[in-house]
Structure 1
Amino acid sequence: MNSPVVSALLPVVFLIAIGFIAVRAGLIRVEANKDLSNLVFSVLTPALLFRTMSTVHVEQLNFRPLLMYFAAVLLLFMGVFVGKGRDHRAAVLALACTFSNTVMIGIPLISLAYGQAGMVTLLTLVSVHLLVMLTITTVVLEMASARQARLAGQGGQQHMALTVLLALKGGLIHPVPMPIIAGLLFAQTGLVLPEVVDRPLQLLGSAFGPVALVLVGAMLTQVQIGTHLKAALGISLLKNLALPLLVALLGWGLGMAGPTLNVMIVTAALPMGANVFLFAQRYEVAQELVTASLAVSTLLGLLTISLVMALVGWLG
């Protein structure tokens, strides 16, 4: 129980189990899952994103390791997106293979394993992780919507430039990018949120992780994991092992080494974040597969993170 991997992952497993048991016991109705999803996506998520980004000062960020990390993420994201058909389902599965649980699992794990120096590196990444990952995914999803509309003959005469602009507009006027952008703009003013505003946002943001994971457990009652086990295992292996391998190879290729690169590699090896599940529900695609993959990725993480950390320690 003293292992940082076990200490970080077990609370996540327990919260998912609580949601599963609550539905089985009749404490949460299956019909309420959609309402819970709307609560998380439209209320808790914006509060968390705005408050997180409201203290981020762009000029203080070290962009070199971030650019390396997101270059690896983008390579895998686009590979999965193109390989799976460039539609809504492909975009959500690409996010599933690249979006790490940097907060609920990453923060306690990196803190226990790498101390304060590691936390500085991780929090620099966390400060822009949601902005980059979720904005890219939202824009890609909106582009996929525009593409599918054109293929269906609903926008055949529409100029491509207008299609792109409409997709970008749809990607920005959205419960995810809007609070991120608003928070970043607020941070650049140098102002501080008043306590009467900051405290409610803090409470709402703190509820995001537990409620989202309980919701994942509730959704598992409707999913036959055995049916999706092979596909979920494939997604989990890409997320837990292929992504950290890409980050490591790219980092070494660029001459990076030491604790900063190690933290980036381990962060890439973290299990899938619950935000992927929310996108699957929002766009009503691959919901069962993403739910199964989230559970498999988290459980598999007990082994894969230990393996990655051991290899990083041996090589570093």
Structure 2
Amino acid sequence: MLDHFLVALGAVVPIFVLVGIGVTVRLRHLLTEAEIRNVNAMVFQIFFFCMMFYNIYTADFDKTFRPQLMCFAFFGILGLFFVAIAVVCLVEKQDFRRGAMVQAIYRSNYVLLGVPLVANIYGQELVAVPMALIPVVVPLYNVLGVIILEVFRGGPIAPIPIAASVLRNPMIRGALLGLFCRVVGLPLPHPILAPLHEVAMATTPVALIVLGASIRLDGVKAEPLQLAFCTVARLVVVPAVMLTAAALLGFRGVDFVTILSIFSTPCAVAGFAMAQQMGSDAMLAGSCVIATTLFASVTVFGWIFAAKTIGFI
């Protein structure tokens, strides 16, 4: 039990260290508000593009291919997305907040916390299982995020304009370009891949620092009901439903923990950047990242402990 607690704690503490650096940047006035917005735009436009391209281009699709697990992840996220829209539209009347709330419910920090969680439980020899789902989960997260934020900021609902908006998103373009290069077998030399790898590795730390520099403490208190609703939904309700479904469908071992890492981890940091760039409630989105990350060490520990006690892992 202590080992699992330390795994969850070890995944959460580095995030708060980086967010704390961002808070220090704000407190020491090292960046102005305008500069913070510009840095966040750089992360969204450049860093996330490079990260998505590199992850897709270098993914080892042949090492671990589990179609049933991929289908569960894909349709599980898609179903959760539509349920989240229906529920949020019932409890929240302002479109400005709806997009951020839907993202907070369906979109997890899978790459940042989920993959290391599986690796810490089963070791590096089985980390290829969650890694193989990144080309499925991450693009789906981004496509759905662009769609929901575009719709709730008053963008056109017609399929063609929405598709065009999705394709303009840097993360989607990076994923599509990486996939294209893989399909056509375009070899990229090391002098090109090396800096892309460095930018990809820097994306999460920089995004977290910008997050810390962007969020004020009073922002966490601005919408307490919406924040509490999203936090409970993300960390308790969603994993309860999805893990029950996974158990009933027979997923066990590393497959079950991979599903757990998708549906029980905190809100994605990228959701904050997208909310800020696309006119949604970025303060609420950032607050959801902080709150869910804070409580995740307890809830993720609880889900792991329960699953291990029952015998699913």
Q: Pick from 11, 31, 34 the counterpart of residue 8 of structure 1.
A: 11
Counterpart CA distance in 2 for 1:141 and 1:290 is 12
TM-score, length-normalised on structure 2? 0.88
The answer to whether the aligner puts 1:109 opposite 2:117 as a matched pair is yes
**What is the match of residue 27 of structure 2?**
24
The two structures, once aligned, show a CA RMSD in angstroms of: 2.3
1:191-249 CA deviation, whole Å, 9 max, x = no partner? 33211211121111111101110111112226431233332122122112222222212
Counterpart CA distance in 2 for 1:188 and 1:57 is 13
Shift of residue 309, structure 1, vs aligned partner? 0.8
Shift of residue 88, structure 1, vs aligned partner? 6.2
| Identity of matched residues, % | 19
**What is the match of residue 37 of structure 2?**
34
**What is the match of residue 184 of structure 1?**
179
CA contact (8 A) 2:36 2:210 kept: yes
**What is the match of residue 144 of structure 2?**
136
Counterpart CA distance in 2 for 1:149 and 1:96 is 20
- Partner of 1:267, secondary structure, is helix
- Partner of 2:188, secondary structure, is coil
**What is the match of residue 81 of structure 1?**
85
The answer to whether the aligner puts 1:45 opposite 2:41 as a matched pair is no
The answer to whether the aligner puts 1:93 opposite 2:93 as a matched pair is no
Shift of residue 144, structure 1, vs aligned partner? 4.8
Counterpart CA distance in 2 for 1:298 and 1:98 is 15
The answer to whether the aligner puts 1:69 opposite 2:73 as a matched pair is yes
- Partner of 2:198, secondary structure, is helix
Shift of residue 262, structure 1, vs aligned partner? 2.7
**What is the match of residue 297 of structure 2?**
302
Shift of residue 93, structure 1, vs aligned partner? 1.8
Counterpart CA distance in 2 for 1:15 and 1:255 is 38
Which piece of structure 1 moves more, 272-281 or 122-131?
A: 122-131
Counterpart CA distance in 1 for 2:50 and 2:140 is 17
**What is the match of residue 290 of structure 1?**
285
1:40-61 CA deviation, whole Å, 9 max, x = no partner? 0001000000111113466763
The answer to whether the aligner puts 1:168 opposite 2:171 as a matched pair is no
- Partner of 1:54, secondary structure, is helix
Number of aligned positions between the proteins: 303
- Partner of 2:223, secondary structure, is helix
Amino acid at match of 1:33: I
Q: Which runs of 5+ in 1 are unaligned?
A: 151-159
- Partner of 1:193, secondary structure, is coil
Closer, same or farther in 2 for the Cα pair 1:14/1:229, shift >3 Å? farther
**What is the match of residue 55 of structure 1?**
58
Counterpart CA distance in 2 for 1:223 and 1:294 is 15
The answer to whether the aligner puts 1:260 opposite 2:255 as a matched pair is yes
1:36-85 CA deviation, whole Å, 9 max, x = no partner? 11110001000000111113466763221122123222222212223333
Counterpart CA distance in 1 for 2:112 and 2:169 is 24
**What is the match of residue 280 of structure 1?**
275
Amino acid at match of 1:286: D
- Partner of 1:169, secondary structure, is helix
Matching of residues 226-265 of structure 1 within 5 Å: 226-265=221-260
- Partner of 1:285, secondary structure, is coil
1:172-202 CA deviation, whole Å, 9 max, x = no partner? 1321211111111111123332112111211
**What is the match of residue 193 of structure 1?**
188
Counterpart CA distance in 2 for 1:46 and 1:73 is 22
**What is the match of residue 157 of structure 1?**
none
Which piece of structure 1 moves more, 48-57 or 273-282?
A: 48-57
Counterpart CA distance in 1 for 2:112 and 2:37 is 23
- Partner of 2:170, secondary structure, is coil
Q: Which runs of 5+ in 2 are unaligned?
A: none
Amino acid at match of 1:125: L
Counterpart CA distance in 2 for 1:193 and 1:245 is 43
Which piece of structure 1 moves more, 61-70 or 180-189?
A: 61-70
1:86-113 CA deviation, whole Å, 9 max, x = no partner? 9564233212112221222223322112
Shift of residue 118, structure 1, vs aligned partner? 4.2
1:137-190 CA deviation, whole Å, 9 max, x = no partner? 223444556xx467xxxxxxxxx8xx2212212211321211111111111123
